[in-house]
Chains A and B, each alone.
Chain A
Amino acid sequence: MPGWLIYFIIFGTIFGAFGGAAVLIWFERRLLGIWQDRLGPNRVGPLGIGLALADVIKLFAKEDWVPPFADKFVFVFAPTAIVMAMLLGFAVVPFAPGIHVIDLNIALLFFMGMTSLAVYSVMLGGLASNNKYALLGGLRSAAQMVSYEVFMGLSLMGVVMLTGSFSLVDIVNTQAEKGWFVFSQFFGFVAFMMAGIAESHRLPFDLPEAEHELVAGFHTEYSGMKFGMFMVGEYLGLILISSMICTIFFGGWLGPDFLPPIFWFTIKTFVFICFFILLRAAIPRPRYDQLMIFGWQYLLPLTLINLLVTGAVVLWL
């Protein structure tokens, strides 16, 4: 691989991810509008696409305010952590054969490590705000993310067993031979998807934010671009989880030959982003204890049984 190409891919990934996150602000509202029989934003530019730009300008132009009672250093650091962690997570995503920032042999572990680092952002943000709503949001997010991480990892172990490798490129190549893992690892897929929603705290599981109970949860005290960083981090997480589901369970770049592989990757990721937005439009938020019971009493046994059965199949068949 020539030296300039890797820089091209790195910058392409960063700008693609940020651009995607910015466009998602508009796209999500638009889709929510369609599904709720509204129009959604349609005033700024054709179909309201200018809203993404207007939102970015607004966030940059707002006063950058740190509350006097906050822990200043942590308060400023927290929003950057989530964006950094999510962007680092993109490093291991293989977009097409040969088009990836790095092909680690522990790519899955790296990805899970990076999504776990995002917990710090939310937790520190809630703690440094010195505000009871923010603190409650931070507490909730810490408990939620730590418990959902357990079976997020476990749900992927079946795939790892079938592949014999943690590398995402190997996982996709194995799917070329064995078929998409969504068929052989259906319960792993279900558990991973649920955990993915909880990890990126998207709407059915957005208890750290929970507008109705906690004002805005962990980012109550944030405004301007610091809040924007949290929002961008959330959308980056959404794109990252979608691309991960696409890579691990839906064959990544694999697809019929009439389109180049990167298009197949983009299309599949796009479908999952739409699916996450559909979840937001359709499903109400559960209570906090229900969330925990759902995680520990249903999803964890499900992934363990899945792991056991997969292990037996790999061992004896």
Chain B
Amino acid sequence: MLNILKAIWSQLVTLVEVLRHTFSKADTVQYPEEMPYLAPRNRGRIVLTRDPDGEERCVACNLCAVACPVDCIALQKTEDEYGRWYPEFFRINFSRCIMCGMCEEACPTYAIQLTPDFEMCEYDRQNMVYEKEHLLISGEGKYPGYSFYNVAGKSIKNKDKGEARNESPPVDVRSLLP
């Protein structure tokens, strides 16, 4: 008998609790009109950034393509007249991409970066394949002022790292630790 009364009481409490939600605000975000806040580190559309001089940061090392778990990145190395590497083509198939960010972590030059943009729907599947001209942006992305070639020098006979022309002092990796 007590159990029955307890069960009935529990049902009534449920009804009252749900009825109280009449006065609570809906949790819905009306998406197309009302954009949700996305953190700057949100992993969305992938871009290729440029260094402060406006040159491509990508050195076509293929580490991103190797790191990519779904193999959606394809690129071809080529060299400019000074022997520096750059990609001849750089292609990301976004219909395969899972926005995991492995490529960004693998990139030694901060060239490939993920942005908070996620609105990439297309009616045609072919349009999901982004070529280099679609991926390249004119800015520096999340690492302003970073230039790979300025910090990538090598110590030679009389000059230590970062002392040659056009070089910045090397990054102190320990200071980056939290």
Residues on A close to B: CB < 8 A? 33-39, 278-279, 281-283, 298
Contact = CB atoms under 8 A, between A and B. Distances in A.
Contacts of B22: 34-35
By DSSP majority rule, is chain B's interface helix, strand, loop, or mixed? helix
Given A37-B25, A279-B15, 11 more contacts: A35-B18, A37-B24, A37-B26, A37-B27, A38-B27, A39-B26, A278-B15, A278-B19, A282-B17, A282-B18, A283-B11
Interface in B7-46: 11, 14-15, 17-19, 21-22, 24-28, 30
Q: How large is the interface on B (under 10, 10 to 19, 20 to 34, 35 or more residues)?
A: 10 to 19
B7 to A, nearest CB: 10
A291 to B, nearest CB: 14
Interface in B30-72: 30
B56 to A, nearest CB: 45
A34 B28 CA distance: 11
Contacts of A278: 15, 18-19
Given A282-B14, A282-B15, A34 B4 contact: no
12 contacts: A34-B21, A34-B22, A34-B26, A35-B18, A35-B21, A35-B22, A37-B26, A39-B26, A278-B18, A281-B18, A283-B15, A298-B4
A270 B18 CA distance: 18
Interface of B: 4, 11, 14-15, 17-19, 21-22, 24-28, 30
Nearest to A31: B22
Contacts of A33: 26
Contacts of B14: 282-283
A35 B11 CA distance: 16
A58 to B, nearest CB: 23
Given A279-B15, A298-B4, A38 B21 contact: no
Contacts of B17: 282
A60 B52 CA distance: 63
Report which residue of A34, A36, A282, A298 has the largest number of chain B beta carbons within 10 angstroms of its beta carbon. A282
Contact of A37 (B4, B19, B21, B30): B21
Q: Which 4 A-B pairs have the closest CB atoms?
A: A282-B18, A39-B28, A37-B27, A282-B14
Contacts of A298: 4
